[in-house]
Structure 1
Amino acid sequence: MARSSADDMELKRSCEAGILSKEKDRETVVMSMRVAKGRGVWGKAGKLASRHMAKPRVLAVTTKKKGQRTKAFVRVLKYSNGGVLEPAKVYKMKHLSKVEVVPNDPSGCTFLLGFDNLRSQSVSPPQWTMRNKDDRNRFLMCILNMCKEIYGGIPKVVGMDIVEMAMWAKDNTTAKVTQVSTKDGPIESLVGEADSQVAIQKELVSQTEEEDIEALLGTYVMAIGEAEAFSERMKRELVALESANVYALIETETVVEEVLEGLEIASICVEDMDEWLGIFNIKLRHMREDIQSIEWRNNRLELQSDSNVALIDELDKLLVLLQIPPEYEESLTGGSFDEGNMVKNIEACEWLTSAIKNLEASNLDPIYVKLRAFENDTSFIMSDSMKLARIQDGQVREKRAEFVLLKCTFVRRASEFLRNYFPSLIDFMLNDKGNFSQRGQLQRPDHADMRYKCRTYARLLQFIKNLDKSCLMPLRKAYCHSLNLLIRREAREFSSELRAGSKASKSSTPLFEGPASANQSISITDTSADAYCKMITVFIPLLVDESSFFAHFMCFDVAALAPSDESDNNNPVAVSEPPGGSAKPINSSAELGVLNQCLQELLDGIQEDFYALVDWAFKLDPLSCIAMHGITDRYLSAQFVDDACYQIEKYERNVRQIGVVPYIPRFSQLAARMEQYINGSRDLVDQAYTKIVTIMFVTLEKIAQVEPKYVDIVLLENYAAFQHSLYDLANVVPTLAKYYHQASEAYEQACSRHINLVIYIHFEKLFQFARKIEELMYNMSPEEIPFQVGMSKVDFRKMLKSSLSGLDKTINAMYRKLQKNITAEELLPSLWEQCKKEFLDKYATFLKLISKIYPSETVISVNEMRDTLASL
């Protein structure tokens, strides 16, 4: 076995010399040991990693006397360039808190010394490696013994057993050969290693105690002749002691009996006490249960009391809200419906409608709706507050019945007033001859004043509808009947004056009954045609306006018809908005039927005056009927087309459009109906198609520009809807086929722009790199491009990694972006297929460029990209 460095006296002297050269006070080196210092991690082979090379060091345990105290240190010494030991680090042993054997070292020769006064605990402490376990145990035992002797305790030991260390110390205490000088010369003396360290160990037995022990042993030795005699003597003394013990026990028998008797009495008392404690425990348990039950009931009562108080407060507030204000009660029960009182009447109607709505179960607060359930849950006790709450609940029911009665009374009074008001208003206009055409003076019908007076009661009609819809039908009939009398009177007087002012001369002769000059016939024809044209121009817009006004005024949920140009200044349909929002289109076939029935009653008989004018013209000149037919076709066509264009252009003023604009499906329905009823007027219909579709496309472009971010989405959805709705008609109508193809081209362009935008958003770096290559190829050869700034192979690989890493996530994001703002879900599959095809084409072009510039680089092929797209 190799000699331990702890026995190297030359090493110890070198350590003392190195320490003495740096320190003023002399220190005694108790033990010095060569070690290897490292901070690395032990690998599987049991060797330190190469990046943590071990460094040779010497660990020295030193002591220093300072007065009566002894201090111990652990010093680290390193070799200088000349091979001389010099101090590198010193640790005070009083701060040693842990000794840990490194578990990763299979040899067990590596350990750590942890000190609690190190400033930087984040840096791992150095690891010290000995040549073998004996050196490690010898060094650590020296440290532990010194800590125990000097500081009265040992640090925490991790990774080794103290008992095994003690056994090792016992087995490995070797004799030490020393030379003792005598007069005959030096002789060798065997001294235990433990004896050699007596200078640093505390004496176990003092000098005085040692002398007493020797004197005692001397006494026994002097009384003993030999070992056998001493043994016999000891046996006799033992027998004597045992006999004395037995005798003492016998003498204390009475005492033992008394003790046993006392123990028995105490046992009986303990059993009685245990029985009593059991009884008390049962009673306490029952008492605890009673207390818990009382507390639970008290908590429920407190909760009930608080709830009752809150409930009563809420009911009081509700009853306060249900009190009818005196001014409203007067208006609802017996107030006047004159124009000056309508503001007050409308306010009373609003309050009554709101009060009735708030009393409905769906609008009540849950505290009122669940009142009965709350009573059942607390049925074990009915407090006075709960009884009061039930009384107040009954009052709420009474108030509801009172409101219903009040509603019926008000609706009856209002309906009766309006049924009388409409005929009286019309009678007033009928009695005023200035409202009608007179001889020599054509009077254009003017209903502005009548509509103004009717609009005063528009909101009243809306409230009547909300309160009791069944009362509207009699009012509608009364209005239609009265207004029909006025319009027929106006049309009759107007037609009569037209005929009177357009009579032919007496010299004129009917057609085919005699000779007549051409000029005379033409004059008669032109005169009758002008009269007929004026009749249509005046009364058709009037009838349309009156129909639209009636639909809104009498609370039909229809959109307003566009007023004609000639009637704009007279009286456009300007009914006040009903409470609750704007009018909605009719969605009930029954209500549509009622509206048509009412309009038939409103306009019934008007046609007779038109027939009378036609008959008069026919009697003057049968040829005039031809001109009248053309006038009718042109007027209806122009009015229809202008109205349709007006309705389309209205959407330009709307906010950002989402999805398909309404006029596209409506146009398809209109075109289908026109083709169904067309009878030889192909040119007029095609002209109407041209004008309407042109306005539709122009308006659509303007609508799309409202939100630049969604321009292409709006266009492609609407052009697709146009193609879908007119597919069948475009196959048979050439004019519609032309616009069908125009919409198809616009759809493809919008799709291409939107798809390219989606692709560039998610693969921007990839195609920007390709665009930069294309720009550079104009001025240089492909071999020179990799040497340009930002175009090297390293840059290309970085770009490729950032663009194609996580490809499945990027493609899914591209699909979600395409799906995000599309409202027509049926377009998404075709858009996605087109997007994949466009992306593959662009990617193939990108690969062709890359193969010229970076031929040796590995890139995902087009087929691999196609498979990836197909799998997602």
Structure 2
Amino acid sequence: MTAIKHALQRDIFTPNDERLLGIVNVCKAGKKKKNCFLCATVSTERPVQVKVVKVKKSDKGDFYKRQQTWELRDLTEVDAKDASKENPEFDLHFEKVYRWLASSTAEKNSFISCIWKLNQRYLRKKVEFVNVSSQLLEESVPSGESQSVAGGDEDALDDYQELSTREEQDIEGMMEMCEYAISNAEAFAEQLSRELQVLDGANIQSIMASEKQVNILMQLLDEALGEVDTIEGKLSSYEEMLQSVKEQMDQISQSNRLIQISNTNNVKLLDEIQFLVNYMDLSKGHVRALQEGDLTSPKGIEACINASEALLQCMNVALRPECVCVCIQKYGMGLNIRLIVSPCSVIQGHDQSSTLVQHTAEMSLPKHSPLHRDLLRYAKLMEWLKNTHREKYEGLSRTYVDYMSRLYEREIKDFFEVAKIKMAGTTKEAKGKFATLPRKESALKQETESLHGSSGKLTGSTSSLNKLTVQGSNSRRSQSSSLLDMGNMSASDLDVADRTKFDKIFEQVLSELEPLCLAEQDFISKFFKLQQHPTVTPPLAQVNLMPPQAEHRHSMSSEKDIVRLMMNKIFQSIETELNSLIALGDKIDSFNSLYMLVKMSHHVWTAENVDPASYLSTTLGNVLVTVKRNFDKCISGQIRQMEEVKISKKSKVGILLFVTAFEEFAELAETIFRNAERRGDLDKAYVKLIRAVFVNVEKVANESQKTPRDVVMMENFHHIFSTLSRLKISCLDAERREAKHKYTDHLQSYVINSLGQPLEKLNHFFEGVEARVAQGVREEEVSYQLAFNKQELRKVIKEYPGKEVKKGLDNLYKKVDKHLCEEESLLQVVWHSMQDEFIRQYKHFEDLIGRCYPGSGITMDFTIQDMLEYFSSIAQSH
């Protein structure tokens, strides 16, 4: 039991801060023997909690676990069963009586005694002990201890510790030395006290005897300190001797370093003198080329380039700034003056008037590669001018920009005018325009010659189309036509070829502009030496010919800005003309925005791949925003037109125009946006449009007076479902399923409402039969009801001979035919659904006759086969 108690304390109660005080091995009385342990415990923390815990071994038998816990304060009675005889049974009364059988009477008595002690010590409410021997309770608390159990110091009991084995042996040995240690404790204590005093005196004498040894030790320490001082004095003298040697060595090292520096400087000076002798000598041929070289011939230009490079090499020698200025003044000024004049003469000699009319008629932009080729011969000399005379360099760049901006403005405007005329489709007007172009040739030449003046300004005026009107003898479309424009015309009136023609013209415009801008930007970068990479600043900057602000402005980042600024000035009309062309295309047909969105997106993507920061990329990106805005406006306009649609009150609705229009829009859009970069924009537009179609179909169906609501919903949603299934637009899969669901629901609703109750009296008769059955009448007894006997049933059946039924179905077919439209071809589908519904009702009547009138032999005047023939013959006859 001790081992078990130790194991329980370690595994169960110590982790919960509890102490195990009593334990008994028990099982429930009167039941199958399943042993467990009842444990009496107290907590180690205050306030002290006393508990009775039931502990049971696990099923695997590896460990113990707590099964049930009771507070001791909840215990009201302990019944030991018999106080005079040994009996292992006992009861504990908590909220209910628990009957236990202990493994032995001794364990039971020990556990009850422990409970009694804990009750006396910790509980105010005393537990009642029944059939417990008073001797057992008295033995539990011996005389003199009851006081301490009831109200003693608990901490004193908790702090008690047993003596170790060694301590016991020492005490026993000490007591054996004195015979009266046990009989006379006071005499033994006095003897121990006397011996302690003797030992204290011996310790004091020992300490006093060691004083002489301490004095000797202190004297030896003093002698050691004196020796240390002597050694330190010798070390100081040695250090002074070494210090003088160190100073001498430092002087020698300094002298060697000065000698080495002197030798290095002499070598560098010699190299510098040799360099000046080799590079500061400019040949007479280079001097003559700089001062008198011909800048109109290739050989003269090459000689000037070689001479300028030689002069730059001389100037790059790191001399005083005034020396460099002398070189420039002596040799370079003549080249600067001639270098400014020569490119200007090339620019002014450039005449495009002879080819402008031809390019405009062919709807293409003139290429200026000959001008670029002629000017690029001076590219290296432009670098010389840029490094030696910034003001002249910038003046020449302004001259070029002014000339090209006026030239491009006139060419681009004429190019866009022709594009607008071709877009508008007015052939006669276009021919008239082309016919007048030759007559304008002289004026065009005169305008070009005005560029040759000293001022370099273009004063001529350019022709423009201020207003385009869209006309045609057959009035094919209005200016605001669209697939969904119900007020002007239907989608079938639009010419798909015109849209294809517009797409080709718009693509040609972008294809002409793209290489033109890229070629011009490439030329500007090469000719004016504005490369998109860092350039090495020449030593010439030290001459202060350019202020520091200018040096910073012409760094790598600023050169990109300069190129972009020059391109903006040269092509300042492109963005305006593109926006004007886009506005015209949108005015001709709002669905042209689909073509423009795809084409513009592709060209923006291409331009960004070449150079995201280029002028072309930025300009096309700005125009793309306008195109996207027009596309969104087009979609919004279609939705608004759906909402404004009106239907005739006198004619049937059929397939709504905006439903067929959405079909044509989707077919057109899928063709245009195939493999396009902006497919996401189309998907968003699809969702907006289809939701608007759904809402407005339902709106029209609710407002329809001539055509039933179910027919409008059924036919239009069937058409929408067919369209979406055929086009397979993935983003509209949910709407396709919704359209199918709406079509099916409204088809069923229309069939039920239109067919109604073709055998009305028979239907009313059987409704009464079903009502009697629902009231509790047995089915076989319904025929005994006066109103529903066999004679009444036969009378009702006679009113519906086969001919009358067929006649009613024929009238129903005509009614359905009037409701449905021909283009959707749903008549046979509806008629077949009505046939199924009629057969269902017929089978229901037959079933009721079989169940409620068994053995009567009553049948309908016509069979299901007859009904199938009725439906088939009616459908064929119409």
Q: TM-score scaled to structure 1, two decimals?
A: 0.30
Question: Looking at both structures, which has the greater relative contact order when contacts are Cα pairs under 8 Å and sequence separation is at least 6?
Answer: 2
Q: What TM-score, normalized to structure 2?
A: 0.30
